[in-house]
Amino acid sequence: MSTSDLHRSELRRRRRERIVIAILTLAVVALTYVTVSPRNVLQTAGRLPLEANLVFFALINLNLLLLILLAFLVLRNLVKLVFERRSRVLGGRLKTRLVVAFFSFAIVPTAMLVIGAWAFMSKSIESWFSLPLDQSLKASLSVAQVYYRSTESDAKRASKQIARAVVAAGLANNPARRAEVRRLIESKRDEYDLALIEVYTSKGVLLGRARDSEIPLEKFPSYNEKALQHAFSNQRGAQLQDVKRGMVVSGFSPIRPVDADQPVLGVVLTRQYVPESLLGKMRLISRTVEEFRQVKVLEGPIRTIYLSILTAVTLVVILLATWFGFFLAKGITVPLQALAEGTEAIARGNLDYQIDQVANDEFGVLVTSFNKMTRDLKASNEAVRLSNEELDRRRKYMEVVLSNVAAGVVSIDRDGRISTINKSAEKLLAIRVEKTLGRRYDEALDADYLEMVRQMVSDMTRQGRESLARQITLSIRGQTFTLLVSLTVLKDEEGDYKGMVAVFEDLTHLLKAQRALAWREVARRIAHEIKNPLTPIQLSAQRLRKRYLDKLQGEDITIFDECTATIVKQVDELKTLVNEFSNFARLPAANPAPSDLNRIVEEGLVLFQEGHKDIHFEFESHPGLPLCNLDRDQMKRVLLNLLDNAVAALDGEEGKIEVVTAYDDLLQVARLEVADNGCGIRTEDRGRLFEPYFSTKKAGTGLGLAIVSKIVADHNGYIRVRDNEPRGTRFVIELPV
Residue type present at position 661: T
Is-contact 684 480, C-beta < 8 A? yes
Would you state the pLDDT for residue 479? Answer: 64
Would you state the pLDDT for residue 510? Answer: 63
57 pLDDT band (50/70/90 cuts)?
low
Taking the CA atoms of the chain, what radius of gyration do you get in angstroms?
69
pLDDT > 50? residue 681: yes
* Residues 110-158 pLDDT 10s: 778 777 777 777 777 666 555 455 555 555 556 566 666 777 777 777 7
CA–CA separation, 291 and 341 (whole Å): 67
Helix 299-347 to helix 3-36 angle, to the nearest 10 degrees?
170
Average of per-residue pLDDT across 299-303: 68
For the ranges 185-189, 277-281, 353-357, 599-603, which has the lowest average pLDDT?
Answer: 277-281
Q: Are strands 656-664 and 616-620 parallel, antiparallel or unpaired?
A: parallel
Q: Which has the closest alpha carbon to 536: 574, 486, 586, 584?
A: 574
Q: Which has the closest alpha carbon to 226: 235, 214, 218?
A: 235
* Residues 90-109 pLDDT 10s: 666 767 777 777 777 777 77
- Strand ranges across the sheet with 669-676: 616-620, 656-664, 669-676, 729-736, 718-723
What residues contact residue 37 under an 8 Å CB cut-off, 6+ apart? Answer: none
Would you state the pLDDT for residue 659? Answer: 92
* Residues 394-417 pLDDT 10s: 878 877 777 777 777 888 888 888
Would you state the pLDDT for residue 673? Answer: 92
CA–CA separation, 719 and 590 (whole Å): 17
Residue type present at position 282: M
* Residues 505-547 pLDDT 10s: 776 666 666 666 666 666 666 665 566 676 677 777 777 777 7
Look at the alpha carbons of 108, 110, 115, 117 in this order and tell me if their dihedral is positive or negative. positive
Phi and psi torsions of 207, nearest 5°: -95, -30
**How far, in whole angstroms, is CA 22 from its chain's centroid?**
37
pLDDT > 60? residue 48: no
Residue type present at position 443: E
- DSSP letter (8 states) at residue 133: H
* Residues 5-21 pLDDT 10s: 555 665 666 666 666 66
Is-contact 505 407, C-beta < 8 A? yes
Exposure of 340 by Cβ count < 10 A (0-12 exposed, 13-18 middle, 19+ buried)? middle
Residue type present at position 737: V
Helices (H) and strands (E) in the chain, counts: 19, 17
Cis bond leading into 726, ω under 30°? yes
Exposure of 201 by Cβ count < 10 A (0-12 exposed, 13-18 middle, 19+ buried)? middle
* E-assigned strand segments in 477-604: 479-491, 497-506, 593-595
- DSSP letter (8 states) at residue 440: B
**Secondary element (H or E) of residue 619:** strand 616-620
Phi and psi torsions of 87, nearest 5°: -80, 0
pLDDT > 80? residue 586: no
Phi and psi torsions of 703, nearest 5°: -110, -15
How many CB atoms are closer than 10 A to CB 655?
20
Total number of residues shown for the chain: 737
* Helix runs in 612-631, H state only: none
**Secondary element (H or E) of residue 540:** helix 508-548
- DSSP letter (8 states) at residue 586: T
* Residues 224-273 pLDDT 10s: 566 666 666 666 666 666 666 667 777 777 877 766 667 777 888 887 76
